[in-house]
Amino acid sequence: MTGQQLINVPDVRTAVPGPKSISILEDQKKYETSTIAYTDSFPFAVKSAKGSVITDVDDNTFIDWMTGISVLNLGYDEGIIQAVKDQMEKSWHSLEIPTEARIRFLKKFSESFPSEMKNYRTMFGISGADAVETAVNIAHSVGGSRNSTITFEGAYHGVSGGIVSATAGTKYRRTSYSQGFSVVRVPYPYPLWYDRDVSHILSDLRKIMVDHESGYEVPDSLLVEPIQGEGGYIVPPDGFLRAIREFCDQYDLSMIVDEVQSGMGRTGKMWAFEHEGIIPDIVCASKSVGGGIPISAIYYRDDYDRKLPKPFHMGTYRANPLGLAAGAYVLETVPRYLPRVEKDGKKLVSAFKEIESELILDVRGKGFMIGVELGKKGEPLSSERMMKIKHSLLNHGLMMHTCGHFGNVFRYMGALNIPDELNNKGMGIFRNALRTEGANEK
């Protein structure tokens, strides 16, 4: 969108939902499962989307600080439309039989990793959960007789199949009954709420490996998010991933890094683990890796590959050519924005910190993965008040979502190419919403 077109964005002329949205939402309620939840937070129907602007069916426009939960790292981008259109003209399903788009994606995906990983292999999946689950399966297949995985409190790795065992929140696990994996869970560093620092966590980890009376299955792998996503945009202290890498080396564990949310440039590096200069054994990618078309990819060591049976992973829809074409474009384009994301991410963190509001407990983040945690010491802001703020943001034209152990973290996940103007306007809307809600307390 041009600067001229952005002058009137956001523009919310009706109550949200407006009359046309209400009618569509009513139809949705009639036919679709009553268990969907996003429409509680964002009650409108989408007419169209361009760049970082979403227009609803009542012609209200919203600034998108949500990017479909970090799926649209380049927003609704013209280049993605073109890549998908071009591929659509050729073919849109081909199982594992190669297309030019597949090879282009494979080369670019491989080039996006540090040179030490250039011999790694790519295995495709469909979703984030599928990728992480398959990564754990790879680790178990090469891990000898051990077959459990270390995972962290507050982790989110998906809810399908077996990987739900590695996800921490009971709300996610209580309706998933196929809990296939054995996991050992340890705290993630979260100093705002818990005093287990990295040295405590390492000592817990060592105990698991050496104390065979601990009651845990001995793990063959460790699964970690470089920055916790759904857990609350929690940035661990510098050196955490390096310490985890050393621990994995010492006990011969496969280190699996889940970059489903933090990857593809979101933190100002292509992959968030690069901030720590470590080399993982297995990396899981999804969300933005297909530019919004569902694909996922696992990047893993070549020597692991030689130990896997053939076939290994199945799934009719893996590596959809449309996703691969879009993904190749995203992989090619994202590096251009990395310096901007690193620089502007810092400015955004400062701007969030400068907001004078007693509701703000903590601001943290890297690049465009920023969390603003609300509440008082020892008392997270209630879910009712979080929802009230979310709706107030929406009514003023800003889509912003929440996450966190206690659901009290607003997260900034703007597109890496979002115009400055929309960041500035969004910040103004967020500031005002916090001031208004803060004033309600007095």
Ligand X SMILES: Cc1ncc(COP(=O)(O)O)c(C=O)c1O
CB of 376 to ligand X, least distance (A): 28
Q: Is 156 in the site for ligand X (CB under 6 A)?
A: yes
Are 65 and 44 in contact, with CB atoms under 8 Å apart?
A: no
Give the range of 185-193, 225-233, 331-339, 393-401 binding ligand X by CB under 6 A. 225-233
CB of 130 to ligand X, least distance (A): 7
- Quickly count: other Cβ atoms within 10 Å of residue 219's Cβ: 26
Smaller CB distance to ligand X: residue 126 or 278? Answer: 126
Alpha-carbon torsion angle 288, 291, 297, 301, nearest 10: -70
The DSSP output letter for 410 is E
Return the residue of 136, 183, 260, 399 that touches ligand X, per CB under 6 A.
260
Return the residue of 125, 154, 229, 371 that touches ligand X, per CB under 6 A.
229
Q: Is 261 in the site for ligand X (CB under 6 A)?
A: yes
Spell out a b/e string for 116-136, using b for 16 or more CB atoms within 10 Å of the CB, else e.
ebeebbbbbbbbbbbbbbbbb
CB of 179 to ligand X, least distance (A): 16
Are 277 and 101 in contact, with CB atoms under 8 Å apart?
A: no
CB of 135 to ligand X, least distance (A): 10
Are 296 and 321 in contact, with CB atoms under 8 Å apart?
A: no
SS3 299: strand
Smaller CB distance to ligand X: residue 218 or 256? Answer: 256
Interaction with ligand X in 117-146: which residues (CB under 6 A)?
127-129, 132
CB of 374 to ligand X, least distance (A): 21
Token digits for 7? 């002058």
Give the range of 14-22, 134-142, 181-189, 258-266 binding ligand X by CB under 6 A. 258-266
Smaller CB distance to ligand X: residue 122 or 382? Answer: 122
Instruction: Please identify the residue of the shown chain whose CB is closest to the bound ligand X.
Output: 128
SS3 152: strand
Interaction with ligand X in 41-80: which residues (CB under 6 A)?
69
Q: What is the H or E stretch that residue 250 is in?
A: helix 240-251
Return the residue of 104, 140, 157, 366 that touches ligand X, per CB under 6 A.
157
Smaller CB distance to ligand X: residue 230 or 281? Answer: 230
Question: Angle at Cα 228 formed by Cα 49 and Cα 244, nearest 5°?
Answer: 140
Q: What is the H or E stretch that residue 430 is in?
A: helix 420-441
Q: Rounded to whole angstroms, how far apart are CA atoms 301 and 397?
A: 45
Q: Is 318 in the site for ligand X (CB under 6 A)?
A: no
The DSSP output letter for 46 is E
Token digits for 15? 């109550």
Smaller CB distance to ligand X: residue 187 or 438? Answer: 187
Smaller CB distance to ligand X: residue 230 or 276? Answer: 230
Site size with ligand X, rule: CB under 6 A: 15
Question: Angle at Cα 316 formed by Cα 333 and Cα 301, nearest 5°?
Answer: 60
Residues forming contacts to ligand X in the complex (CB under 6 A) are: 69, 127-129, 132, 156-158, 225, 229-230, 258, 260-261, 286
